[in-house]
Amino acid sequence: MRTLFRPVFGWRGDGPAGLEPFVHTSTDGSWLAGAVVASRRVPARGVVLLCHPFVKYGMHWFFNHGYHEWLADAGYHVVGFDFKGFGRSTVDGVSFAEDVVAVGEWAHERWPGLPVHVLGASFGAFHALHAIATGRTAFASVLCDSVPATVARFFGGGVTGAVMRGMSTSRWADATGTRPIFRSLPLPDDLPRLFLFGGDDPFIAPAEVARLREACGATSVRVYPDCGHLEVRKAFPGAYRGAILGFLYHSSSSKDYHSWIRTQ
């Protein structure tokens, strides 16, 4: 594991000012470093758990791009964490989905009674879907930005790509969370969901987007033209924030969500 994650293992900065750090133990024993930004509204509307992409900055990818600012302004407690092997988090297992389960449970314990939503980007969205499939999470909604369909396409060539491709088709695929996302679908009927993609994203094919629409509902999948992987945020900043905040606001009840999503 340490060999596979050597390219992203080293960044251990503190990030922006105002973050409240915490450490929580994953179900496999890994120590997960995280940070909280409290809602700037009272009472808070809920909690948003951020699951970061496969980048050296880990959870700070979200903080560096200001997600915590507009989510906290909108009334949400924001929770970021580094997956095992990133930043200050240790490696004592092989399933990243277990990290999502563990921090989701931590958020419920810290803010009992508030809905906990999960917002995953790329690699983080991939493992958030697998976490939901375990049936051990209680998320109020799931939002996936640029989720890759398979690890094989995401990691491409080279040694890491060969290892991931082999793992994803082996008997270890479930244990390591490397199976394709379609193995973790469909989602529970009453779980609000939204998938955002760039039209030129190389990590999910048009046929896979169509399959995702069939599995999760056509109106739950949005494709933005002329941008690639994790580029909707940059190409359509206003529409991107509006989609996320509108989705979160209307996800407090399944009935409200379905009414809202039909109008989009």
CA distance 5 to 252: 37
The CATH topology of domain 6-262 is Rossmann fold (3.40.50)
Beta strands (DSSP E) in the chain are: 20-25, 31-37, 46-51, 76-81, 116-121, 141-145, 193-198, 221-224
Nearest C-alpha neighbor of 132 from the set 203, 82, 92, 183: 183
| pTM higher than 0.85 | yes
Q: 122 and 96 in contact (C-beta within 8 Å)?
A: no
Rounded mean pLDDT of the chain?
88
Mean predicted confidence (pLDDT) in 180-203:
94
CA distance 233 to 143: 14
CA distance 109 to 195: 27
CA distance 185 to 132: 9
Q: State what percent of residues in the chain have pLDDT above 70.
A: 83
Unique residue bearing structure tokens 């906990």: 116
What number of H helices and E strands is found in the chain?
11, 8
At 81-107, the pLDDT tens digits run: 999 989 899 888 888 999 999 999 999
Nearest C-alpha neighbor of 202 from the set 222, 228, 235: 228
CA distance 186 to 212: 9
At 118-127, the pLDDT tens digits run: 999 999 999 9
At 31-74, the pLDDT tens digits run: 999 999 999 999 999 999 999 998 889 999 999 999 999 999 99
3-state secondary structure of 34: strand
Distances (CA, A) of 29 to 25, 53, 97, 174, 176: 6, 22, 13, 18, 15
